[in-house]
């Protein structure tokens, strides 16, 4: 798809039905690839076809003689690779897109330097690009190295450090400072590490990793709950009698974004688990909803759009990390919701509100801000009226087949250049 194109979306008016194919979990895939590389083997099945995962595979396969690696706009790739390259002693420049060079990484670099990594900033201190200069050998140790790490910026820093912990002579103890966001992603990292033979304990304020080498293992990646959230939105916004089946999802998932089940139950969507996945059907929404997104920030855009479109008053907290994602997602939401008569109001002290207001979909164009989740969070509004998505190719980052799946589900999807 041409990056300069746009997509016009519309809906026939009939109930939504059938099934939709989800990508495999990008979060699981990228963690599993790093751990597999450190373990030295094992087969990974059902890897995500998202650009971020294909990029991770390519960069991990680059020869040791490569002098530059480009993480593009992929946060997990930049952060996980920084730790992986540091622990393996690589000497290489790690860079990214213009937006990636605005996303902070100082917390992770400071921690890695304490582990002996030699890392220099080539432009602005605290931000990529990074020049990795190898690692000072660490002496044998009986006790783990203890690092104090802020938990209120990105859990990806914590996961990156956890995954290299088994490679350290005495292991690693992370003391997490302040409010810890996205805790389920830390537990996902822990579970995958344990699957590959590592000894890792999450004790709340402390995460402890013993110096017990990874063992090669096979693993099958689950379907992506973040991607499922857009189909929840569609069922919530679709005509009465709508339902959809989503194969490949587990009831007992390691993914934090499975929280969408409980959140969307309040916004009118019932989840039924079966042997092959889940079935989504409609029910009456709550009169008002208040939700903390600290541990599932990637769901915030989708939920805000559904609340605005259905007129259910919504209070959102735990949005601190949204300012440093692919775009400033709070600002982007405020601009785009306003096009429909909606709003995201900042009430201070980390509290935001989507009020019940007149909301009309009537041919508006959605700017996507180089952010895959902006495109997919607003696309379900086509069930309420025609709209246009600008730069729709951004979905390749996590759900490359999204527009094709919309067409299969019955949307009219017309490419415009």
200/275 same-domain check: no
401/281 same-domain check: yes
Exposed/middle/buried for 125, CB within 10 Å: 0-12, 13-18, 19+?
A: exposed
Cα–Cα distance, 280 to 268 (Å, whole number): 10
235/376 same-domain check: yes
| Residue 86, token pair as written in the block | 């540091």
Domain-located, residue 128: yes
Give the confidence band of 1 by pLDDT, cuts at 50, 70, 90.
low
Domain boundary among 220, 249, 265: 220
pLDDT of residue 98: 95
Mean predicted lDDT score pLDDT of the chain: 95
pLDDT of residue 180: 85
Domain-located, residue 1: no
Give the confidence band of 3 by pLDDT, cuts at 50, 70, 90.
low
Quick one: average pLDDT of 147-154? 86
Quick one: average pLDDT of 112-121? 97
Q: How many other C-beta atoms can be found within 10 angstroms of the C-beta atom of residue 245?
A: 16
244/353 same-domain check: yes
Domain-located, residue 349: yes
pLDDT of residue 399: 96
| SS3 letters across the chain | CCCCCEEEEECCCCCCCCECCCCECHHHHHHHHHHHHHHCCCCEECCCCCHHHHHHHHHHHCCCCCCEEECCCCHHHHHHHHHHHHHCCCEEEEECCCCHHHCCCHHHHHHHHHCCEEEEECCCCCCCCEEEEEECCCCCCCCCEEEEEECCCCHHHHHHHHHHHHHCCCCEEEEEECCCCCHHHHHHHHHHHHHCCCCEEECCCEEEECCCCCCCCCEECCECHHHHHHHHHHHHHCCCCCEEEEECCCCCCCCHHHHHHHHHHHCCEEEEEECCEEEEEECCCCCCEEEECCCCHHHHHHHHHHHHHHCCCEEEECCHHHHHCCCCHHHHHHHHHHCCCCCCEEEECCEEEECCCCCCCCCCEECCCCCHHHHHHHHHHHHCCCEEEECHHHHHHCCCCHHHHHHHHCCEEEEEC
pLDDT of residue 225: 97
Q: Is the pLDDT of residue 141 over 90?
A: no
Q: Is the pLDDT of residue 325 over 90?
A: no
pLDDT digits (tens, 9 = 90+) for 344-387: 999 999 999 999 989 999 999 999 999 999 999 999 999 999 99
Domain-located, residue 92: yes
Domain-located, residue 381: yes
249/154 same-domain check: no
15/53 same-domain check: no
Domain boundary among 220, 240, 272: 220
pTM of the full structure = 0.87
138/260 same-domain check: no
Q: Is the pLDDT of residue 217 over 70?
A: yes
Domain boundary among 198, 220, 242: 220
Domain-located, residue 383: yes
Quick one: average pLDDT of 258-285? 96
Cα–Cα distance, 224 to 320 (Å, whole number): 23
pLDDT of residue 2: 54
Domain-located, residue 45: yes
Cα–Cα distance, 301 to 376 (Å, whole number): 9
pLDDT of residue 204: 86
Q: Which range (144-153, 231-240, 272-281) has the least confidence?
A: 144-153
147/265 same-domain check: no
241/388 same-domain check: yes
pLDDT of residue 275: 87
Place of tokens 């009698």: 241
Place of tokens 């709003």: 343
Cis before 129? omega within 30: yes
* Comparison of pLDDT for 61 and 183, the residue scoring more: 61
* Comparison of pLDDT for 322 and 147, the residue scoring more: 147
Length of the chain: 417
177/92 same-domain check: yes
389/346 same-domain check: yes
62/123 same-domain check: yes
Q: Is the pLDDT of residue 324 over 80?
A: no
Give the confidence band of 276 by pLDDT, cuts at 50, 70, 90.
confident
Q: How many domains does the chain have?
A: 2
Quick one: average pLDDT of 19-25? 96
Cα–Cα distance, 178 to 394 (Å, whole number): 33
Q: Is the pLDDT of residue 408 over 70?
A: yes
Domain-located, residue 368: yes
Q: 164: domain range?
A: 26-220
pLDDT of residue 4: 66
pLDDT of residue 372: 95
Residues taking part in catalysis? 298
* Comparison of pLDDT for 140 and 39, the residue scoring more: 39
pLDDT of residue 182: 82
Q: How far is CA 367 from CA 153, 232, 279, 382, 391, in A?
A: 26, 22, 31, 15, 8
Give the confidence band of 140 by pLDDT, cuts at 50, 70, 90.
confident
**CATH code assigned at 284:** 3.65.10.10
Backbone angles phi, psi at 367, to 5 degrees: -75, 140
Backbone angles phi, psi at 374, to 5 degrees: -65, -45
pLDDT of residue 138: 81
Instruction: List, edge to edge, every strand of the sheet that includes 117-121.
Output: 68-70, 91-95, 130-135, 117-121
């Amino acid at each position: 798809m041409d990056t300069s194109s746009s997509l016009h979306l519309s809906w026939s008016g009939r109930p939504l039905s059938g099934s939709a194919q989800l990508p495999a979990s990008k979060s699981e895939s990228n963690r599993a690839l790093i751990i597999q590389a450190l373990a030295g083997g094992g087969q990974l099945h059902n890897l995500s076809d998202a650009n971020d995962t294909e990029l991770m595979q390519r960069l991990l396969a680059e020869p040791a003689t490569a002098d530059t690696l480009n993480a593009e706009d992929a946060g997990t790739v930049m952060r996980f690779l920084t730790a992986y390259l540091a622990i393996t002693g690589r000497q290489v420049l790690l860079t990214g897109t213009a937006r990636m060079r605005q996303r902070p990484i100082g917390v992770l670099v400071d921690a890695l330097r304490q582990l002996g990594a030699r890392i220099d900033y080539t432009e602005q201190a605290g931000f990529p690009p990074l020049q990795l200069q190898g690692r000072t050998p660490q002496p044998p140790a009986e006790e783990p190295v203890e690092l104090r790490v802020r938990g209120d910026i990105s859990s990806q820093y914590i996961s990156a450090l956890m995954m290299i912990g088994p490679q350290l002579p005495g292991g690693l103890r992370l003391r997490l400072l302040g409010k810890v966001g996205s805790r389920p992603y830390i537990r996902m990292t822990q579970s995958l590490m344990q699957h590959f033979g590592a000894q890792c304990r999450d004790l709340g304020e402390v995460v402890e990793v013993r110096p017990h080498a990874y063992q090669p293992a096979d693993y099958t990646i689950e379907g992506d709950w973040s991607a499922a959230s857009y189909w929840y939105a569609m069922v919530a916004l679709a005509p009465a009698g709508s339902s959809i089946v989503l194969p490949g999802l587990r009831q007992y998932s390691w993914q934090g974004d499975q929280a969408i089940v409980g959140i969307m139950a309040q916004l009118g969507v019932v989840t039924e688990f079966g042997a092959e996945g889940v079935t989504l059907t409609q029910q009456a929404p709550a009169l008002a909803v208040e939700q903390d997104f600290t541990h599932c920030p990637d769901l915030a855009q989708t939920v805000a759009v559904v609340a605005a479109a259905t007129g259910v008053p919504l209070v959102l907290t735990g949005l601190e990390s949204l300012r440093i994602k692919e775009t400033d997602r709070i600002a982007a939401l405020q601009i785009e919701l306003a096009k429909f008569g909606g709003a995201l109001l900042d009430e201070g002290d980390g509290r935001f509100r989507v009020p019940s207001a007149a909301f009309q979909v009537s041919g508006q164009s959605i700017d996507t801000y180089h952010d895959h989740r902006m495109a997919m969070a607003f696309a379900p509004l086509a069930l309420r009226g025609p709209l246009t998505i600008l730069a729709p190719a951004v979905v390749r980052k996590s759900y490359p087949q999204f527009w094709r799946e919309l067409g299969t589900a019955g949307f009219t999807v017309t490419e415009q250049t």
